[in-house]
Structures are given as structure tokens and as C-alpha cells.
Amino acid sequence: MQLSISSTQLNDWSGDVLVVGLPKGKPSDTAAQLENRVPGVISALTKQDFQGKVGEQLVLHLLTNVNPQRVILIGLGDADAINLDTLRTASANGARASVGCTGRLGLHLPWDDQNPENAARVSMEASRLSLYIDQRFRKESDVRRVPTVLELIGLPNIDAAGLQSVNATCAGVELARELVAAPPNHVTPAALAKVAATLAHDYGLELNVLERADCEARGMGAFLAVSQGSDLPPKFIHLIYRPKGEVKRRLALVGKGLTFDSGGYNLKVGAAAQIDIMKLDMGGGAAVLGAMRSIAELKPAGVEVHMVVASCENMVNGSAVHPGDIVTAANGMTIEVNNTDAEGRLTLADALLYACEQKPDAVVDLATLTGACVVALGDEIAGVWSDDDGLISALNTAAEAGGESLWRMPLHQSYKKGLKSLLADMKNTGPRSGGSITAALFLKEFVSQDTAWAHIDVAGPVWSDKGQGVNPAGATGYGVRTLVNWICAQV
């Protein structure tokens, strides 16, 4: 979608479909301008009892030989309560209601009530992402008529160069959505490595892929234990963005990359286990790959980014890890596997150790790690754990700007006693209570003490059964916008 900005006033704008946000209450100046542009609008509002409540929507179909051919009115709620999330949701709903029209889509919202550049960015992102549809696996694709140009109407003078990141960021989100949504017979560990290779080729990134023998030589027994029940070889993927000039900050992104999780011998059973959608267990890996896709195009100066994904399947065969096995991570720490369905933290243990070898200033890992986090926060909010207040603040700011919700969770050190093993250095799971906290404490054991670290559990928001906001039903691409915003704000 081509993105543009127009200082043209609403009553002078010409295009194919027009989306206008109206606050709750009496007809505003915006409604009066719209009446001049499309006579009869105010009477239509009255007849349809349109009050401007949040989520309210009225679509007016005009004559086909008249522009605009369609006018979409979106309720914004109380004028003094309008914020960036209001504009984001209104933009998404308006764009979806434009399906069936081609050509130019005009969007008019109360830009002056917000920071105009931020308002423009979130509206553009929401409009493009809300029109995303995945038809790769259909015999015949549905031909959809959608606008090809999005124009923001009536914006004050702003630096349009600051909006050039929108398409790059959205492309990263869409890549993550495609990876999570694709079935596990298509997105395998080798397929993820191929995606990384394509990014490296297209954008001049560096790529190292460690094969099984390489991982064995490095002593990655925790990661390899998870992979040994699958016929598909594991892939340990290390993708690097190096900026031109001086490197002022070095960051590492680590993503859980289980392309399918059966649970192993602790097999996922029953409807609540949702084994049928365990393709999404590489949602963290998809997010960091999507973020690298965006960063590779944006090319932020002064920041070097290392992406690590330890990818494999968690399957059951005669070679699969047993409950009760003791495995050894690359740092020599021994782990009693008391639950083979807590496999993600085993793969992340070796991935975090490897990431810390790159001497980053900060490491952020994303993982669909625990059902306990979903119970606590639902499917719209990710939990984040860290001892570093500065890193938490930066991630929260980045997430808020991207419309992705984060909630800081406690990293209560006394819970670590739940990970004690009679035989090994630790177990891979603790008691059921506080399961997401003990999972984070487990991961912390594999991070260098002098490295800032945050763990983000994305088990809830990587998938939406019904779709909401900018997200379609299915894969959401959660995490990409937060990571891109965080990285680009580093220098």
C-alpha cells in the first residue's frame, strides 16, 4: 500500500473511499466539513442514530460515478478521551470497511489532539496491517478489491521522512504472521533457516547456521535433547545486522523456535492442550525474524543486532528425551527434565548462553513459554520479567508506541527453590503455582550477570481466535513492533 499525507482540507479532498472519525456528542466541525463535501451526511447520522460511541460505525454507499464512492464514519467516543489507541482502532476498522473499493483511501482523524507524527504513524500501521489476509494455502485465492493508496487528510506540516519506517515495520509483522500461521509441515527448522538466509542475501546481513554436529561440539545438550525425538534436523540460527560506522550499542534478540510441540512424552492431551495449533510455538522465533526483516531495511545507525533462534521440533519416537533424563547445557549446568513439555526453556538455555557470548549490552528473549502466563494475562497482554528497570521502561515505551501490551511480572527469587533437583543442578519446571515466574528464573540462570536481560512470554498474544484491533484472526505478529521500536530508540 502506498502511503501519503495531504494537507488538503476534508471538504476539498477527492478520492474513492473516505473514512472520517467523529467524536461522541453534537455534530463537530469535522461533521460540518463533511456535510459540505458530501451533502446529506448529517441527516444520515440522525436517521441512523449515530452517536459517535467507540466502535460505532456507519457506512454510506454513494453513486458509483461520484467520488468518494463510499463514506465510512467511525465513532471515537468522548473527545477528551481520544488517544493513540483510539486512532489505531479507528484506522483499522475504517480500512477493513473499505474492502470492495480500489484506488485512494482517505483517512481523516483528529490529528491535532495528539502528537501528529505519532498519530500518523499508528494510523498508517493500523490501516495496512488490518488489510492483511493469508491465502497461501487455498486452491483458489479470493480476489479482494482493496485501496492501493492510503492518504491521511488534513495533517499539519510534519516530517514525512519519519514515516518511512511504517512499511518496513509492517513487512516485519507480516513475515512473523506468515511464519506462525503456516502449518508445521511447511515451516520446519530448515525452513526458518532458509528464511534467515533469504534475509541475509536480500539485505546484506551475516548468517551463521549451526548444524547438529556444530551444536554437539559446543556442548548444547539442552537444545539437542529436545530435538532428538524428531526426524528433522535442528537448526541453530544466528543472524547479524551490523551498521555502517561506529557501533555504540550491541543488542541480542533470542526467540523460541519450536516449529511443532507435541509435548514429547508428556504429550499434550485434551482440548485445553491445543496440540492442533502447536505450530505457533515458534512465535518468539517468528517475532525476532520479523524484527530483523524490518531492521535490515531501516538500517539504524550505531546499533548492532544479533538474532538467535534455536529451532527444532519436540516429537516422540524411540530416541526422544524421557521424563527424568538429565541433560547438560553448554555452560556445564545439568538439568533434570521432569517435564518434556517444558522444552522451550531447554532450547532457550543454550540460545541465551550463545547470545551472551556475543557480548551484548542487552538481551531480550521472546517465547511462547507458559500457559500460566495466558491464565494470568489473557491473550492480549504479554508478561515481561527483568531485574533491569531501565530495560523494562524502554521496552514498555516501545510496546506502547507499537500498540502491543506488556505487563511487568515479579521475578521473585525465593521461587527459585522450586527448581531444585535431588540429582542435577536444577529441574526444568517447578511447582504449578507461579509457573511463569519459575520459568523466567530458570532462564535467568543462563544469562551473564553483567548483561541486561528481559524475558517476554508471548504465549497469549501471538494468536487470536477471533481477531481484534489491527490483528486478523490467527497469527498476530506480536512482538515485532515492540522490538523494532526498542532497537531504533537505542541511538
Interval 163-199: pLDDT, tens:
889 999 999 999 999 999 999 999 999 999 999 999 9
**pLDDT average, residue stretch 355-376:** 97
Is residue 116 within 8 A of residue 7, CB to CB? The reply is: no
Let me know if 121 is a catalytic residue: no
Binning pLDDT at 50, 70 and 90, where does residue 26 land? low
Q: Which fold has domain 167-488?
A: Aminopeptidase (3.40.630)
Is residue 236 within 8 A of residue 219, CB to CB? The reply is: no
Is residue 431 within 8 A of residue 339, CB to CB? The reply is: no
β-strand partners of 251: 305, 362
**pLDDT average, residue stretch 390-400:** 98
**The pLDDT value given to residue 156:** 75
Please pick, among 88, 128, 256, 345, the residue that the annotation labels catalytic: 345
User: Distances in Å between the alpha carbon of 197 and those of 176, 221, 237, 463, 477?
Assistant: 15, 25, 9, 26, 20
Q: Domain 2-155 is in which class?
A: alpha beta
The C-alpha cell that represents 445 in the structure block: 540462570
**pLDDT average, residue stretch 440-460:** 97
What mean pLDDT value characterizes the chain?
A: 94
Is residue 134 within 8 A of residue 178, CB to CB? The reply is: yes
Q: If residue 190 lies in a helix (H) or strand (E), which one and from where to where?
A: helix 189-203
**Strand 149-153 relative to strand 104-108, pairing:** parallel
**pLDDT average, residue stretch 55-70:** 85
Percent of the chain residues topping a pLDDT of 90: 82
Range in 142-151, 373-382, 424-433 the model is least confident about: 142-151
Euclidean distance between CA atoms 162 and 3, whole angstroms: 12
108-111, long-range: CB within 8 Å, 24+ apart, which pairs? 108/10, 108/13, 108/18, 108/19, 108/20, 108/21, 108/30, 108/152, 108/153, 108/154, 109/20, 109/21, 109/76, 109/152, 110/21, 110/23, 110/30, 110/76, 110/79, 110/82, 111/152, 111/154, 111/155, 111/156
Q: If residue 348 lies in a helix (H) or strand (E), which one and from where to where?
A: helix 344-357
Binning pLDDT at 50, 70 and 90, where does residue 155 land? confident
**pLDDT average, residue stretch 329-338:** 98
Please pick, among 250, 268, 408, 416, the residue that the annotation labels catalytic: 268
**Cβ count within 10 A of residue 105:** 27
Is residue 82 within 8 A of residue 110, CB to CB? The reply is: yes
Euclidean distance between CA atoms 464 and 470, whole angstroms: 11
Range in 20-29, 204-213, 347-356, 467-476 the model is least confident about: 20-29
Q: Where are the domains of the chain?
A: 2-155, 167-488
**The pLDDT value given to residue 27:** 63
Tell whether the model's pLDDT for residue 114 goes beyond 80. no
The C-alpha cell that represents 221 in the structure block: 545438550
Tell whether the model's pLDDT for residue 157 goes beyond 90. no
> Which is higher by pLDDT, 155 or 414?
414
Binning pLDDT at 50, 70 and 90, where does residue 1 land? confident
Let me know if 345 is a catalytic residue: yes
**pLDDT average, residue stretch 457-469:** 92
**The pLDDT value given to residue 43:** 86
Tell whether the model's pLDDT for residue 435 goes beyond 80. yes
Q: Is the dihedral of CA 454, 466, 23, 63 positive or negative?
A: positive
The C-alpha cell that represents 5 in the structure block: 499525507
Euclidean distance between CA atoms 453 and 443, whole angstroms: 10
Range in 148-162, 383-397, 421-435 the model is least confident about: 148-162
Q: Is the whole-model pTM more than 0.85? A: yes
Tell whether the model's pLDDT for residue 42 goes beyond 80. yes
**pLDDT average, residue stretch 130-158:** 89
Helix axes 165-181, 189-203, angle to 10 degrees: 160
Strand ranges in 62-133 using DSSP code E only, listed in sequence order: 70-75, 104-108
227-236 pLDDT, tens digit per residue, is 999 999 999 9
Tell whether the model's pLDDT for residue 334 goes beyond 70. yes
**For residue 2, which amino acid is it?**
Q
**The pLDDT value given to residue 75:** 95
Is residue 437 within 8 A of residue 411, CB to CB? The reply is: yes
Q: Three-state SS for 74?
A: strand
